Structure 1
């Protein structure tokens, strides 16, 4: 597992170094609930891709069969801006908690490559749960639209995203600090 120093000396006092807390997992795994805990624990700035997409693009989302052709370039632009914002927070000395999708290995690899010198300041938290548990959570979240709701996840999108989920493999775990969060630790 890759490790880094958690403190640097500033004016003779130990000050925590800024950290990136990257939370990944399939839809309905409990990421948003876990993110709230990390934000409080680390007094970090949360940056959530779904919130950005819902605010910036949901009103303009087409009702076409090929919504992915519309969705992907907007997601990439949001990720670029989220990273710029994260860098500004990190450079100011603050922690960030990123909930930005990255359900496939190639997406995470591209994101890691973008991090440059900040790569060593990152912890990846992996959350997962059985598909039937996640499906029920998403249906409930869609209906209740509570505190972790940002947009409706239709059943076909849930199934597609679940099929695409790739948990970190041995190489990713060797190259980065990866923490597997047990289901009981993050709730619904």
Structure 2
């Protein structure tokens, strides 16, 4: 049975870059929610953006990602889940799904100072490099800052902690 790595942290913490490096190091298959959303749904984004519209599609992607990731893991492959994991409930859900198939999980927590993260995100909008999937406006950044639930002490206990400056 392979291992499932959950990458979490606030926006701009370096999750996507870290997930790409970890996938290479672990010879793992990486799943990025931003890439899935960009390819499948962002072209159809309504002009009046709706959080419920987005979250419904995120959940569809996560469901299909899990279906594929669990097969990879059952075949002794390692999986990197770069799904944001904004909410504690989402993180627990994926850990429970992994436990149901007998897979071990490893949490990786990334963080950086708020100003650094915001500068990275705004810079990514301009550069449109490897980790760019869609524009994050300053308003979107501020909204998501309030949505991110910091890791609990229990989550941090056995996690790989990556603090960046």
Alignment TM-score, normalising by the size of structure 2: 0.92
Q: Give the equivalent residue in structure 1 for 2:8.
A: 24
Is the partner of 1:21 in helix, strand or coil?
A: strand
Decide which of 49, 52, 62 is 1:79's aligned counterpart: 62
Q: Give the equivalent residue in structure 2 for 1:98.
A: 81
Q: Which residues of structure 2 form unaligned runs of 5+?
A: none
C-alpha deviation, 1:116, in angstroms: 3.2
CA contact (8 A) 1:131 1:162 kept: no
Q: Give the equivalent residue in structure 1 for 2:71.
A: 88
Decide which of 44, 48, 53 is 1:70's aligned counterpart: 53
Q: Distance in 1 between matches of 2:102 and 2:12?
A: 27
CA contact (8 A) 2:4 2:80 kept: yes
Q: Deviations over 1:36-83 (max 9, x none)?
A: 110111011110011111111001101115x10211111111111111
Q: Distance in 2 between matches of 1:58 and 1:71?
A: 9
C-alpha deviation, 1:118, in angstroms: 4.5
Is the partner of 1:158 in helix, strand or coil?
A: helix
C-alpha deviation, 1:148, in angstroms: 1.3
Q: Distance in 2 between matches of 1:103 and 1:139?
A: 19
Q: Give the equivalent residue in structure 2 for 1:138.
A: 121
Q: Distance in 1 between matches of 2:121 and 2:57?
A: 23
C-alpha RMSD of the superposition: 1.6
Q: Which residues of structure 1 form unaligned runs of 5+?
A: 1-16
CA contact (8 A) 2:8 2:15 kept: yes
CA contact (8 A) 1:24 1:127 kept: yes
1:182 pairs with 2:160: no
Q: Deviations over 1:1-31 (max 9, x none)?
A: xxxxxxxxxxxxxxxx511111100110011
* Structure whose CA Rg is larger: 1
Q: Give the equivalent residue in structure 1 for 2:25.
A: 41
Q: Deviations over 1:102-130 (max 9, x none)?
A: 11212222332332335651100000111
C-alpha deviation, 1:172, in angstroms: 3.1
Alignment TM-score, normalising by the size of structure 1: 0.82
Q: Distance in 2 between matches of 1:107 and 1:172?
A: 13
Change (3 A) 1:126 1:21: same
